[in-house]
Amino acid sequence: MILRSYLISFTTPYIMIKHILQYAFLCLFFLSNAQKENPSSFIDVNMYSGNIARHNDNIAHLIQGHPNGFIIGWNKRVSGGKIWHSQYNYPEFGASFVAQNFNNSTLGSSYGVYGHYNFYFLKRCLMLRIAQGVSYATNPYDKFKNPKNIAFGSDLLSGTYLMLNYVRPQVFGPVGVQAGATLLHLSNANIKAPNTSINSVTFNLGLTAALDDNIKTKGIETFEEVINKKIRFGLIFRTGINQSDVVGTPQFPFYIFSAFAEKRLNPKSLIMIGSEYFNSKFLKEYIYYQSVAYPENNIDHDLDYKRIGVYVGHELLFGRFSVQTQLGYYVYSPFDFEGRVYNRIGMKHYLSSKWFVSATLKSHAAKAEALEFSFGIRL
């Protein structure tokens, strides 16, 4: 109830500015007593407020008020026992809870649980957090009750946020301060239409509380123990469900079969090339819909919906986890759906040196097509 009351108090610009100034004054007071310590684990609380970015003209009617909320996080520094720990300046992993009040009756609020990594720069004074998780929207699209919410077609959403903070830990006993900017993205990856998504650009102020003292890192592995620079080949199977942008059409499964070759460059990264075959059932239905709804376009309802693509990619490695990005091109695509170029971003987890699983978002520029769940093997 206390947190809810605090969020409600942010609904007028005057009160919002008042709270921010009071919070900033408190942070400046702490900064005057600054001591540089880096605990191995801590919790943090950030309050934020900002605006919805107009990334799509169709959401202009949803840009009202100022979204605000809070982020509560638990953070733990890596031990230093792996070579990538030192390569990334001893980052932190953790979990966070994000509450967002859009101050808009159409959008409602959202509540999400995220996993994140914190990366440090400038002698650990600048922190970049990358977080991915699942969020619950309280007021998604409904044909009769909420037809104006074209941003969220479902109540369960994929959430991502990026936070860039100036940090000063343990400036007043175990308490530290941080301030910066946060970008929050919510979308259901076109699992259900409509799905124009929402991006909130915000400024945040926060406090940290150390849970223990600074712990010395362990010795790291040698370079030879973790690097294999041979070219390796592999196969991937991706699947999931999605829907076309036509509201009310059915959801369909999709199947993607990929073959790739990859080469490890260093402890941090590897590059790859590959080809893949797309069998997306929603596209078959969408072609038929277009042929019936827009006969003037002369689209054959029997047009082949299958596609073949080639891609190049990169993986940023963190031990058994990695962040993967890919850029692809359809060499075979009889029906032009959102153009020939596509991109993919996501997380991969290596179960062993051969087997891995991943979750990725496939898009055409900023327009999502599908959330893919994958299983693969290195041959």
CATH number, position 59: 2.40.160.20
Cα 280 from Cα 282, distance rounded (Å): 6
Residues 67 and 204 in one domain: yes
pLDDT of residue 4: 46
Please name the residue that has the structure tokens 């409602």: 108
Lowest pLDDT segment from 13-22, 49-58, 179-188, 232-241: 13-22
Residues 179 and 321 in one domain: no
313-325 pLDDT, tens per residue? 999 998 889 999 9
Residues 244 and 301 in one domain: yes
- Could you tell me if residue 163 is inside a domain? yes
Residues 150 and 262 in one domain: no
- Could you tell me if residue 7 is inside a domain? yes
Please name the residue that has the structure tokens 């004054």: 25
Cα 183 from Cα 181, distance rounded (Å): 7
- Could you tell me if residue 253 is inside a domain? yes
Residues 167 and 274 in one domain: no
pLDDT (mean) for 145-171? 94
State yes or no: pLDDT of 217 exceeds 90. Answer: no
* Mean pLDDT of the chain, nearest integer: 87
pLDDT (mean) for 101-114? 95
pLDDT of residue 219: 53
Closest residue by Cα to residue 236 from 326, 304, 319, 320:
326
Per the model's pLDDT, the better-predicted residue between 52 and 84 turns out to be 52
8-28 pLDDT, tens per residue? 444 444 344 445 445 544 544
pLDDT of residue 229: 77
What's the CATH number where 243 sits? 2.40.160
Residues 199 and 257 in one domain: no
Host domain of residue 295: 227-378
- Could you tell me if residue 131 is inside a domain? yes
Alpha carbon 31 to its chain's center: 31
- Could you tell me if residue 29 is inside a domain? yes
State yes or no: pLDDT of 279 exceeds 80. Answer: yes
Cα 69 from Cα 11, distance rounded (Å): 11
Residues 172 and 233 in one domain: no
pLDDT of residue 215: 58
pLDDT of residue 286: 94
State yes or no: pLDDT of 176 exceeds 90. Answer: yes
pTM of the model: 0.83
Please name the residue that has the structure tokens 């055409």: 364
Residues 272 and 172 in one domain: no
Alpha carbon 332 to its chain's center: 30
